[in-house]
Amino acid sequence: MDEANHGSELLRACNLTKDFRGRRVLSGVSLELLPGTVTGFLGANGAGKTTAIRMMLGLLPGGGETSFIGRPLRAWRDPARVVGAALGGVSGHPKHTVRAHLHMVAAGIGVPNDRVDEVLDRVGMREAGTLHLGRLSLGMAQRIGIAQALLGDPRILILDEPANGLDPHSIHWLRNLLRELANEGRAVLISSHQLAELGQLVDDFVVLARGQVVTRKAIGDLADTVQNRVTLQSPALERLRPLVEQKGGVLHVASEGHADITGLTRFQVGDLAAEHSVPLHWLVENPPSLEDFYLSVAEQEFKAQ
């Protein structure tokens, strides 16, 4: 594949627009995927993430266009070698075995049967090859769906809600797999509304709200836009509140005896409590998370409505 004349991005979606039953569900959505990166596609249920993904892949009609390594997907003779997608597990006849199903998919995209065991090994599912699709757990189906997306050894991988049904061990596995794929020079797009998991998986993220892209940021830039949060436990929160406010901070009571403070560091809070003899039983400073950022963006969007 010759990428020299197409810029650095592997995927470019421009001005995706979609109306459904007279209602606009996507409005001018644009994004780019760069090689070597895992990009999060973030938004609440109903924000338009799956619709945008299906439009990128040519599975839904609508306005705008998407290029894959400089060309529309239909212009590639072997599109499965360019992009692989897992849109919620794996679909097939429930009585077919995993291996038989993947052999059929492999034949359809022109890759040898040996590739099936390679991708099953990569997702840790070699022993599941003899299971029927109808007997797979949700977490197993997610892994098999990723294996299917990898059959063509694509440069671009698109995963829609891949963490659904995964236990903590499997989420750790997914994180390592995505990092390996990115380190091989691929571009990965992962859509999710599970913010805690997504924050550990991605390099940058696009936030979609009400069918529009409202921001894009690198994970490392969160500290520039979201304040650190100090979490503490004290039996004297009402004594502490005016002291915090005098220093320009905000105290939010989370539950009885527990509070979050923004606008001050843990050192400032600790010194303030010591100076005024306010007892603290516990004090920790939490760096800004993807969830904090998303909630701040969502609040701004709510106010704008």
As a whole number of angstroms, the distance between CA 156 and CA 167 comes to 25
User: Which residue bears the tokens 């995993």?
Assistant: 98
pTM of the predicted protein model? 0.78
Taking each helix axis from N to C end, the angle separating 138-150 and 114-122, rounded to the nearest 10 degrees, works out to 130
pLDDT in tens, the chain (305 residues): 333 334 489 999 999 999 998 899 999 999 999 999 999 998 877 888 999 999 999 999 999 999 999 999 999 999 999 999 999 888 889 999 999 999 999 999 999 999 999 999 999 999 999 999 999 999 999 999 999 999 999 999 999 988 888 888 888 899 899 999 999 999 999 987 767 667 777 888 888 888 888 888 777 666 555 567 889 999 999 999 999 999 988 899 988 899 988 888 889 999 999 999 999 999 988 766 666 666 666 545 544 55
CA distance linking residue 267 with residue 235, whole number of Å: 19
Predicted local distance difference test score (pLDDT) of residue 220: 65
The sheet with strand 229-233 has its strands ordered as 250-255, 258-262, 229-233, 282-286
Number of other CB atoms surrounding residue 171 within 10 Å: 18
Are the C-beta atoms of 38 and 190 separated by less than 8 Å? Answer: yes
| HSE value, Cβ hemisphere, 13 Å, CA-based, for 163 | 23
